[in-house]
Amino acid sequence: MSSTESERIIKIAVPQEFSFRECLAFLKRSPLEILHHIDENNVYKVIAVNDELILMKISYQDQELIIEFPDQVPSNKRTIVEFVENWFDLNQDLSLFYRTVSNDSLLNPLVEQYYGLRMIGIPDLFEALTWAIMGQQITLTFAYTLKKRIVTSFGEQLLIQDKQYWTYPSPEIIADLQIEDLRKLQFTTRKAEYVIGVAREIVEGRLSKDILRHAENPAQKLISLRGIGPWTADYVLMKCLLKTDAFPVADVGLQNAVMKQLQCKQKPTINELRILAKNWSGWEAYATFYLWRSLYE
């Protein structure tokens, strides 16, 4: 490989418990997704690095993720590596989760079926929070519709060979909006207020991933914000901070998945879920994620 070619490629060794196929299955779950594109076994995604829009092409071979740059080579490759590690939760020791649930009759069959599936994270806190807010009390399909509208209205676009690649809007852009700007996209007044409010919390320095990491009770810190309840807080801790013990116990998808796996006629109560989850202690987020995966069959 020439030096020029080597500059355009980053290789990241992945843990033994890693399945690119399973991660792709989750990433492909909605045809309305706009922030990444999958072509055969390649994932294309744009991220902003030092004010540059960088297109990544991610593939897998021989226990390594191969990251190529079809357009511009980033000046800061460490940022790229950190993003990919967080996106696929590569620093997590999944063998601990597998041991924890090895005798659990609900989870162990899912572990065998989806072995190597990693938490697909949302590394950007603003995206994680606002995506969760968008998804409150509406169908997943309409949540994706709202996401597509906010991205195409306020995100940045990279056009390469007539194909559009989008980044999520920055909190700085959204913080300057008025409620009506989002109402035009079919956001409710309250959701528009919550999204703009979160943007302003981040822009004004009162909220960040570091602040949450160092908070004595990060869930409570999130719940103190308008529009953030326990479900949203746990979802963000699970998907953005990659906390394995975050447990969105009131999640409808989780309830549906447990009902499906146990072949029950009605959804489990929150108390019943907490009893089941005693076998998953410390790994509630991964248990939830594997149960979610069981719905995409």
Cα separation, 32 vs 18, whole angstroms: 26
Residue 251 is among the residues annotated as catalytic for this protein: yes
Cα separation, 240 vs 199, whole angstroms: 16
Residues constituting the chain: 297
User: Which distant-in-sequence residues (6+ apart) come within 8 Å of 1 by Cβ?
Assistant: 9
Provide Rg for the chain, Cα atoms.
19
- Find the catalytic residue in 89, 124, 234, 251: 251
Q: 3-class SS at 143?
A: helix
Give the residue carrying structure tokens 């390649």.
Answer: 42
Give, to the nearest 10 degrees, the angle between helix 125-134 and helix 140-154. 130
User: Which distant-in-sequence residues (6+ apart) come within 8 Å of 214 by Cβ?
Assistant: none
Cα separation, 147 vs 164, whole angstroms: 16
The residues carrying an active-site annotation are 251
